[in-house]
Structure 1
Amino acid sequence: MTTARRDTYTPETLLDVAVRVFNERGYDGTSMEHLSKAAGISKSSIYHHVTGKEELLRRAVNRALDGLFAILTEERARSGRAVDRLEYVTRRTVEVLVAELPYVTLLLRVRGNTDTERWALDRRREFDYEVAELFKEAVADGDLRSDVELRLATRLLFGMINSMVEWYRPDSRGAANAGEVADAVVQLAFTGLRTDR
């Protein structure tokens, strides 16, 4: 006599599976059938936890975005000279990316094909705007070079950070930890951006 496998998934563990499958297959290339096979549970069991794959996507990208926006509320991101706050936000962004690597990877791959993706892109732009404002303030304070166009500097900085989703693997031998990577990013970026005082 065989017994049916009991659904031991929680919304959080199901989300982990969905993020892995979305990152492997792409959101558009993932069906509920793919998710149920990856989780080893029926589609109806998934629907017990969520309304569908777009809800899983929203939860996943929201987790990454909440991590990023939480940085902006931290004390060191809100007080002190703008350049120091910007360095802090840069460092913490790397740390959040490492801590939430699959979720941030998914966030960076959304293209705006669904309402959830468009919402996520809008929130990402809002975060980028907040960081650009810090850049602007640091330039006005005379702490960052004014001869580098602001939007370009912001894009280059976040291009460097966001590229980590393509190569950083914390479980590989010899991989730098989050602190080491954050130190390297801050040193490389701000050595070139700070004014000589």
Structure 2
Amino acid sequence: MRRGRASETGVGRGRPGYAREDVLLAAVDAFNAAGYEATSMGALAVRLGVTKSALYHHVSSKEELLREALDRALSALGGVIDDVRSLEGSDMERLRLLVRGTTLALCAEAPYVTLLLRLRGNSEVERSAMDRRREYTRIVAGLVAGAQADGDLRADVDPATVGRLLFGMVNSLVEWYRPDGELSAEELAALTGKMAFGGLVPRS
């Protein structure tokens, strides 16, 4: 984990500490490993090697860290959707770009997206994030419906189901993708698009 200068940290004034980015990532790793409810501020302080009072001096609660982490994940995914919707072109072209872009966003922000996908809706922060996720899925379903109307996608499948399946395929990457793995993020994004729109059966 990258160390920050004490003046940048946020944790441990007057002695070496962690930058805010490090604190957030440590919290996300803990939330993903043990669950948000099971992770206390005391456990986070131990994980960072600081006192709990030092942690509270700069972070008001673990909910603050959860909100910041979820905003990071949702902003990455939402930014892709905003960019795609603003582009000229067909809904099919937008859909292809969206699958590629969300794959890249997930690879770049994997710990944060993992946290987003594991929410249980036990707090207002979680429920709000889950509502935003559902809105993203509805937008994808709208693009699918548009591509169907244009004759670019088969029309005998429900757009909402297709939207969930597309996001489900991309989201599954959090379970196995590793930055140092065999495929780069760009290669993985290209393969995801091929799988989504070309399938595995060779065309005759």
TM-score (normalizing by structure 1): 0.89
Corresponding position: 1:73 with 2:82:
yes
The question of 1:34 aligning with 2:43 is answered yes
Q: Distance in 1 between matches of 2:198 and 2:138?
A: 22
- Residue 127 of structure 1 and its aligned partner are, at CA, apart by 1.2
State the AA in 2 paired with 1:166.
E
- 1:77 Cα shift? 5.4
1:21-50 C-alpha deviation (Å, 9 max, x unpaired):
111111111111110011111111211222
2:106 corresponds to? 97
- Return the alpha-carbon distance in structure 2 between the equivalents of residues 9 and 58 of structure 1: 19
Q: What is the 5 A alignment of 1:39-78?
A: 39-74=48-83, 78=87
Map of 2:146 onto structure 1: 137
CA distance in 1, matches of 2:117, 2:84: 26
- RMSD (Å), alpha carbons: 1.8
The size of the alignment, in residue pairs, is 188
Q: Secondary structure at the match of 1:74?
A: helix
Structure 2 match to 1:182: 189
Provide the C-alpha distance between the structure 2 equivalents of 1:123 and 1:76, rounded to a whole number of angstroms. 16
Which one of 161, 164, 176 corresponds to residue 173 of structure 2? Answer: 164
Decide whether the 8 Å contact of 1:110 with 1:121 is kept in 2: yes
**Deviation of 1:92 (Å):** 0.4
Please state if 1:82 is matched with 2:91. Answer: yes
Deviations 1:71-109 (A, max 9, x none): 123267532111001100110000000000000000100
State the identity as a percent. 49
Contact 1:10/1:49, CA 8 A, preserved across alignment:
no
Instruction: Tell me if the contact between 1:15 and 1:56 (Cα under 8 Å) persists in the aligned partners.
Output: yes
Question: Where in structure 2 are there 5+ consecutive unaligned residues?
Answer: 1-12
Question: TM-score, normalised on structure 2?
Answer: 0.86
User: Any unmatched runs of 5+ in structure 1?
Assistant: none
